[in-house]
């Protein structure tokens, strides 16, 4: 008999970080460059401003990802300490909560009693059970904060270079803007397709959604940049 192998996508946090960094990287530097195109005529100034924004934006986005991941880890540690205290100070109430959770899955009180009794003999497993099934919290990866920061920052840099590449390769500033628009929309579509491939969403639908949403965000940012300039 052929063994049954389940395929599950387990890199959701990493994909989320890439999506956050790449999406902002594709739209914000593009909007800045497009807005400056209508105000100045020197390509090198637009490129300089664009790369300065990429540097600042990647640092800010990476820091935001780091703080968010640290916040998740600190929240988990706080809730874990509370659960560890409660199974000691109010074990009967916690045991009843375990029973209530299992009963929502169709188990009878008698069936739950055996599992509850077993958990009460294993405090660590008891706490882990409460964290996951009562609070819906998963233990964070200890290195998650730095991984998140670096992933978001690098994705932002890669995304930001794409719209600016037109200004590096095309000498006429207005033609560079046109090329930048096409390249940015194409990059959003490709990025959306790849994201859909990894997350299980139909590739074409994901590509269209990412292109439309990213395009609208870029257009809004572009309009604001042009209005300000």
| Integer angstrom CA distances of residue 81 from 64, 123, 132 | 26, 12, 14
Q: What is the mean pLDDT of each run of 10 residues along the chain (229 residues)?
A: 46 77 84 76 84 92 90 87 87 86 82 83 85 82 85 92 89 85 86 76 83 75 69
pLDDT value at position 19?
A: 82
Instruction: Determine the 3-state secondary structure of 84 from DSSP.
Output: helix
Q: How far apart are CA 20 and CA 57, in angstroms?
A: 12
pLDDT value at position 141?
A: 78
| Integer angstrom CA distances of residue 27 from 155, 169, 181, 184, 215 | 12, 19, 10, 8, 8
pLDDT value at position 218?
A: 67
pLDDT value at position 63?
A: 93
The model's pTM? 0.75
Instruction: Determine the 3-state secondary structure of 137 from DSSP.
Output: coil
pLDDT value at position 209?
A: 83
> CB-side exposure of 203: number of CA atoms within 13 Å?
6
Q: How far apart are CA 194 and CA 215, in angstroms?
A: 17
């Amino acid at each position: 008999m052929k063994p049954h192998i389940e395929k599950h996508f387990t890199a959701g946090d990493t994909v989320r970080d890439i999506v956050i960094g790449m999406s902002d990287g594709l739209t914000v530097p593009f909007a800045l460059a497009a807005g400056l195109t209508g105000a100045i005529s020197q390509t090198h100034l637009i490129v300089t401003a664009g790369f300065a924004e990429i540097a600042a934006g990647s640092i800010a986005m990476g820091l935001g990802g780091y703080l968010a991941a640290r916040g998740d880890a600190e929240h988990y540690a706080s809730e874990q300490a509370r659960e560890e205290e409660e199974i000691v100070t109010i074990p009967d109430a916690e045991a009843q909560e375990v029973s209530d959770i299992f009963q929502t899955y169709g188990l009878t009180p008698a069936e739950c009693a055996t599992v509850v009794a077993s958990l009460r003999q294993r405090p660590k497993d008891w706490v882990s059970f409460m964290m996951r099934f009562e609070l819906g919290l998963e233990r964070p990866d200890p290195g998650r904060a730095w991984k998140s920061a670096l992933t978001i920052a690098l994705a932002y840099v890669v995304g930001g270079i794409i719209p600016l590449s037109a200004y590096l390769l095309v000498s006429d500033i207005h033609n560079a803007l046109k090329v930048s628009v096409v390249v940015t929309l194409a990059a959003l579509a490709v990025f959306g397709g790849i994201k859909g491939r990894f997350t299980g969403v139909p590739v074409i639908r994901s590509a269209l959604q990412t292109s439309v949403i990213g395009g609208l965000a870029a257009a809004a940012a572009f309009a604001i940049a042009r209005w300000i300039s």
